[in-house]
């Protein structure tokens, strides 16, 4: 079992729709959780961090964390073609390193 | 102002050569990292330094040797390059343990 799992996609959604990206992790001791966006040929860019159970909203982005189910999700409301990218889930287990998933490719079509 | 900068951006070299990648951050962060991203986009940690001290050394061939002359700089030297070393190498930094990282722009290494 991979430490951080994501569906590779592609996830295709129409412009204006809600895109829902999911991530599960194996270590129950994980403490902090991050979503990165990576455009093709570019470096990962931090878009959301979440540390406690529940929802965290920032603009069109909402991160959701359920530690009991070991599940993190990212919702993107009013999806735009510019949101088309690979979204990487990352988990910190309390050590000084992030464990990344393989990413979900999102395609938003006009 | 670039927060985390890496040089070079592209590196094409022959098998058996030795090459170095340099990284500098001007964020005042204490911790720096090297990650390798393979062709399937999987990001895997290689090394981490905290204030010039090596704190993470994952299962990486001895041909890879990091060096941190000060907490703002982290270099990666690779000896006897192999075809399988071809990947994108990212430098990153973070302020505190458990915080998210800021990544550099990456170095695309191609070994031919």
Per-residue pLDDT reduced to its tens digit, A14-62: 999 999 999 999 999 898 999 999 999 999 999 999 999 999 999 999 9
CA dihedral A94, A95, A97, A98 (to 10 degrees): -20
In this predicted model, which residue has the larger pLDDT, B105 or B1? B105
pLDDT computed for residue B40 by the predictor: 84
Residues whose CB falls within 8 Å of the CB of residue A57, separated by 6 or more in sequence, listed in order: none
Q: Do B50 and A96 touch (CB under 8 A)?
A: yes
pLDDT, chain A, mean:
94
Contact (CB<8Å) B33/A103 = no
pLDDT, tens digit, for every residue of B43-102?
999 999 988 888 888 888 999 999 999 999 999 999 999 999 999 999 999 987 667 899
Neighbouring C-beta atoms of residue A26, cutoff 10 Å: 14
Provide the shortest C-alpha distance from residue A62 to chain B (in Å): 17
């Amino acid at each position: 079992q991979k430490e951080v799992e994501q569906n590779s996609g592609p996830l295709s959604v129409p412009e204006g729709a809600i895109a829902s990206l999911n991530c599960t992790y194996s270590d129950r001791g994980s403490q902090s959780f991050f979503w990165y966006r990576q455009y093709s040929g570019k470096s990962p860019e931090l878009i959301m961090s979440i540390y406690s159970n529940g929802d965290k909203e920032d603009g069109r982005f909402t991160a959701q964390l359920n530690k009991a189910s070991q599940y993190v999700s990212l919702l993107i409301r009013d999806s735009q073609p510019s949101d088309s990218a690979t979204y990487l889930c990352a988990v910190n287990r309390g050590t000084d390193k992030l464990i990344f998933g393989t990413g979900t490719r999102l395609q938003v079509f006009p | 102002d670039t927060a985390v900068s890496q040089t070079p951006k592209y590196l094409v070299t022959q098998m058996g050569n030795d090459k170095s990648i340099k990284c500098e951050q001007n964020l005042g962060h204490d911790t720096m990292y090297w990650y390798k991203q393979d062709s399937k986009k999987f990001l895997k940690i290689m090394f981490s330094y905290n204030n010039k001290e090596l704190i993470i050394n994952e299962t990486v061939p001895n041909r890879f040797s990091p060096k941190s002359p000060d907490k703002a700089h982290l270099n990666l030297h690779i000896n006897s390059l192999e075809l399988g070393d071809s990947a994108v190498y990212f430098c990153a930094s973070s302020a505190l343990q458990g915080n998210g990282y800021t990544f550099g722009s990456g170095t695309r290494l191609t070994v031919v």
